[in-house]
């Protein structure tokens, strides 16, 4: 489908649903490309109080699983909006049709800002995770019972789960997590908290957290480990590479989330999921490394 046709189809869909009226689709609707089986569009409209921008997310395909997933993301966004650091959801239609093709559709607030620089904005990221993890969980969230496997399964990790090296180490990590987390409360989690999922609003001194399709209830250390691993491996502005940086981040997070726990215990828990991230990345790149870092 050509971009021009897509823009016109999106405009017709929004108008037909009564969600938004775009008088000049070619200039008001911009494609952001595709991610995670979704096509994303930014729509700019003039309203009574000024210019507003919205994000429209359309599933790529009409399979029941994809369409149900966008309805789930809508429900999660409704549940986490009270945090003040997530996009506001407006409308959802899990059984929509755009340009004659079945799709799931979600319209939400488009948040503006700059990409998160881990070495500069790490404290804002810690504060945002603390706010999210302090939210009450309810029946709208999926409860994730296998956090290590959830982390590994992202970004194609499942394709390599039958490798002997990863399978054995994943089992050890899962067993270790089970021991460490026994008795700990489960919290609302983002589930895939990479640095690229944060948008920094420097005027408000906050970091928005977007892309909630993997939201659920799990251990807080999934999000913490995911962020720390991602921050340490970005090409520009890396953070959490040294022991001092990891401690600094965890101290800020614990303050924001009101977690009372010895630093060594927090480091031990985060390390389990940092290692799961490393294995996930090895699987995505088609590598297997049976050696584990010390302490995990």
Integer Cα distance of 274 and 92 in angstroms: 34
Residue 143 DSSP symbol: B
Tell me what the pLDDT averaged over the chain comes to: 89
What pairs with residue 55 in β-bridges? 42, 108
What is the token pair recorded at 209?
């957290």
Chain mean position to CA 95: 23
Q: What is the pLDDT of residue 293?
A: 47
Give the CA diameter of the chain.
61
Sign of CA dihedral 95, 92, 76, 108: positive
| Mean pLDDT calculated for residue range 124-148 | 95
pLDDT at residue number 287: 62
Residue of 26, 27, 31 whose CA lies nearest to 8: 26
Query: Is the pLDDT reported for residue 168 higher than 90?
Result: no
Confidence of residue 225 (pLDDT cuts 50, 70, 90): very high
Judge contact between 87 and 112, C-beta under 8 A: no
Q: What is the pLDDT of residues 25-39, one digit of tens each?
A: 999 999 998 877 789
Give mean pLDDT, residues 113-136. 97
pLDDT, residue 112, reads 94
Q: Are 104 and 67 in contact (CB under 8 A)?
A: yes
Query: Is pLDDT at 64 greater than 70 in this prediction?
Result: no
Asked which of 135-144, 245-254, 266-275 is least confident by mean pLDDT, the reply is 135-144
pLDDT band at 240 (very low <50, low <70, confident <90, very high): very high
Which pLDDT band holds residue 2 (cuts at 50, 70, 90)?
very low
Tell me: pLDDT of 55 over 80: yes
- Give the pTM: 0.90
User: What b-and-e string marks burial along 216-225, b requiring 16 or more CB atoms within 10 Å of the CB?
Assistant: bbbbbbbbbb
Mean pLDDT of 258-274: 98
Query: Binning pLDDT at 50, 70 and 90, where does residue 1 land?
Result: very low
Residue 143's contacts (CB-CB under 8 Å, 6 or more residues apart) are 186, 216, 217, 218
pLDDT of 161 higher than 80: no
What percentage of residues in the chain have a pLDDT greater than 70? 88
| pLDDT(101) > 60 | yes
Q: What is the pLDDT of residue 34?
A: 81
Cα radius of gyration (the chain): 20
The distance of Cα 55 from the centroid of its chain, to the nearest Å, equals 16
- Confidence band, pLDDT 50/70/90 cuts, at residue 164: low
Confidence of residue 113 (pLDDT cuts 50, 70, 90): very high
The stretch 34-45 carries a mean pLDDT of 88
Could you tell me the two tokens for 213? 């399709």
CA distance from start to end of the chain = 48
Q: What is the pLDDT of residue 63?
A: 55
What percent of the chain has a predicted confidence (pLDDT) above 90?
Answer: 74
Least confident piece of the model among 2-6, 89-93, 174-178, 226-230: 2-6
How far apart are alpha carbons 128 and 143 in whole angstroms?
21
| pLDDT higher than threshold 70 for residue 159 | no
Given a contact cutoff of 8 angstroms between Cβ atoms, the answer to whether 33 and 51 are in contact is: no
List alpha helices for 182-219, DSSP H.
none
pLDDT(290) > 60? no
Q: What does the alpha-carbon distance between residue 216 and residue 213 come to, in Å, rounded to a whole number?
A: 9
Calculate mean pLDDT across residues 223-250.
Answer: 96
Helix (H) or strand (E) holding 115: strand 114-115
The answer, yes or no, to whether residue 17 has pLDDT greater than 80, is yes
């Amino acid at each position: 489908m050509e971009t021009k046709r897509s823009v016109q189809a999106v405009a017709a869909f929004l108008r037909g649903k009564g969600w938004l009226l775009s008088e000049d689709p070619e200039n008001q609707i911009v494609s952001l490309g595709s991610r995670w089986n979704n096509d994303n569009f930014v729509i700019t409209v003039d309203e009574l109080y000024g210019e507003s921008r919205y994000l429209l997310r359309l599933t790529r395909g009409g399979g029941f699983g994809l369409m149900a997933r966008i309805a789930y993301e809508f429900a999660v966004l409704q549940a986490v909006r009270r945090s003040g650091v997530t996009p506001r959801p407006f409308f959802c239609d899990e059984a929509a049709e755009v340009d004659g093709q079945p799709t799931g559709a979600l319209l939400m607030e488009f948040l503006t800002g700059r990409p998160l620089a881990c070495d500069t904005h790490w404290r804002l990221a810690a504060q945002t995770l603390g706010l999210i993890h302090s939210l009450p969980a309810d029946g709208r969230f999926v409860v994730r019972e296998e956090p290590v496997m959830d982390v590994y399964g992202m970004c194609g990790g499942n394709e390599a789960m039958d490798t002997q090296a990863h399978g054995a180490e994943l089992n050890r990590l899962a067993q270790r997590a089970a021991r460490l987390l026994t008795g700990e409360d489960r919290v609302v989690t983002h589930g895939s908290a990479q640095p690229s999922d944060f948008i920094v609003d420097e005027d408000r001194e906050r970091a928005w957290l977007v892309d909630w399709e993997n939201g659920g209830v799990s251990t807080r250390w999934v999000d913490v480990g995911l962020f720390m691993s991602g921050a340490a491996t970005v090409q520009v502005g890396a953070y959490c590479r040294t022991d001092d940086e990891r401690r600094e981040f965890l101290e800020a997070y614990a303050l924001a989330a009101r977690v009372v726990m010895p630093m060594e215990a927090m480091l031990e828990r985060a390390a389990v999921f940092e290692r799961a991230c490393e294995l996930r990345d090895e699987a995505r790149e088609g590598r297997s490394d049976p050696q584990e870092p010390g302490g995990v």
